[in-house]
Amino acid sequence: MSALTLIGGVLVGAGILLILLAAIGIVRFPDVLTRASAATKAAGLGVVLVLAGVAFLFGTLEAAVKLSLAVVLQFLTAPVSGHVIARAAYRSGSPLWEGTHTDELAVYERRAGRHTPGTTAGRRPR
Amino acid sequence: MSLFPRVRTRVRTWVRTWVRTRDRTSARTWVRTSVRRWLRRIPATVVLLAVVVRDLVAANLKVATEIVTPGFQMHPGIVRVPTRTRTPMEATILANLITMTPGTLTLEVDPETYDLYVHSLYLDDVEEFRAHIARTEDRLLEVMR
């Protein structure tokens, strides 16, 4: 077993572990925003680790170039979906977890004339 | 926003500067100074990437422990973060960097002031949180401007 295979295997394993943790996080976390945080984590470092590991396993320049491109695109696009899902959830009034202690966005949404039924506006900081 | 007009403006500026200065400086010197200007950005870019990767790994570990330990230690909140970004491109990249860091999530961007509304899982000290984002922002703007 060469060093490349070893590094590649470790990276892929770490990536899979992170994605598994994120999946558990999505089930366990209490509201949409915290779940979205867990999900973007998987799409971020987890997938990037798997791609980097595959690059090491192939061990060719061609694979490295293609997979680096995939990593860059992943970093550019993954946060966008997380942001849009979270914003849609917030605007449609999905309830926030009762542990959420500050919500300064409620002020902005109200000023923008949007109704924010699910927010904890007025809740005092702990 | 279309990218093309901005590229066009930039190329036009280059050509005009060259036309204006070609009597005094040779084209070669001019190319050399503009290349040098780009090279000077490389150290700042490396620092920015290193800091972002460090934050990414640290925050990943934090969220991972939150997931595997029973109960919730987190105390999430949404705060307004004023920024000094002044173009859609700068604001987009900063918002993306924030969302990439696990535990923080950009929820909304004020289109007029470019204030960001950020949801964070661990919001202990609001001022400390704003200062942390401001540091990342400083590094980013140093690279982009």
* Residue B126, pLDDT score: 84
Residue B24 placed within a domain: no
* Residue A65, pLDDT score: 93
Could you tell me the pLDDT band of residue A123, with boundaries at 50, 70 and 90?
Answer: very low
Could you tell me the pLDDT band of residue A121, with boundaries at 50, 70 and 90?
Answer: very low
Q: What residues of chain A lie within 8 A of the CB of B61, using their CB?
A: none
Taking an 8 Å cut-off on Cβ atoms, the answer to whether B76 and A125 are in contact is no
Exposed e or buried b for every residue in B37-51, given b needs 16+ CB within 10 A? eeeeeeeeeeebeee
Which range has the worst mean pLDDT, A43-47, A54-58, A60-64?
A43-47
Residue B10 placed within a domain: no
Q: What is the number of structural domains in chain A?
A: 1
Taking an 8 Å cut-off on Cβ atoms, the answer to whether A105 and B108 are in contact is yes
Are A52 and A67 spatial neighbours (Cβ–Cβ below 8 Å)? yes
Tokens 């964070």 label which residue?
A: B120
Q: What would the mean pLDDT of B45-53 be, rounded to a whole number?
A: 87
Q: What is the number of structural domains in chain B?
A: 1
Distance from CA of A3 to the nearest CA of B (A): 24
Average pLDDT, chain A: 82
pTM > 0.80: yes or no? no
The yes-or-no verdict on residue B133 having pLDDT over 80 is yes
State the residue range of the domain holding A62: 3-94
The yes-or-no verdict on residue A52 having pLDDT over 80 is yes
Cross-chain CB nearest to B123 (options A30, A80, A102)? A102
* Residue A50, pLDDT score: 93
State the residue range of the domain holding B112: 37-144
Chain B residues within 8 Å of chain A (Cβ atoms): 56-57, 60, 63-64, 66-68, 72, 74-80, 95-100, 102-108, 110, 117, 119, 121, 123, 126
Residue A117 placed within a domain: no
Q: Among A18, A102, A111, A123, which would you mutate to test the B interface (most chain B Cβ atoms within 10 Å of its Cβ)?
A: A102
Give the amino acid at A12.
V
Q: What would the mean pLDDT of B55-74 be, rounded to a whole number?
A: 85
Q: Please tell me which residue, A84 or B2, carries the higher pLDDT value.
A: A84
Residue B7 placed within a domain: no
Residue B26 placed within a domain: no
Residue B13 placed within a domain: no
Alpha helices in chain B (DSSP H): 4-21, 27-68, 88-100, 126-144
**Among A84-88, A96-100, B30-34, which range has the highest average pLDDT?**
A84-88
Residue A36 placed within a domain: yes
Exposed e or buried b for every residue in A80-106, given b needs 16+ CB within 10 A? eebbebbbebbbeeeebbebbbbbbbb
Which chain A residue lies closest to B80 (C-alpha atoms)? A104
Predicted confidence (pLDDT) per residue in A1-40, tens digit: 688 899 999 999 999 999 998 899 889 888 888 888 888 8
Predicted confidence (pLDDT) per residue in B69-88, tens digit: 888 888 888 888 888 888 88
For residues A36 and A27, what is the distance between their CA atoms, to the nearest angstrom?
11
Q: Among A85, A105, A123, which would you mutate to test the B interface (most chain B Cβ atoms within 10 Å of its Cβ)?
A: A105
Cross-chain CB nearest to B75 (options A21, A90, A99)? A99
* Residue A116, pLDDT score: 55
Residue B27 placed within a domain: no
Q: What would the mean pLDDT of A42-64 be, rounded to a whole number?
A: 88
* Residue B45, pLDDT score: 85
Which chain B residue lies closest to A102 (C-alpha atoms)? B77
Residue A104 placed within a domain: no
Its ipTM equals: 0.75
Element (H, E) at B117: strand B116-120
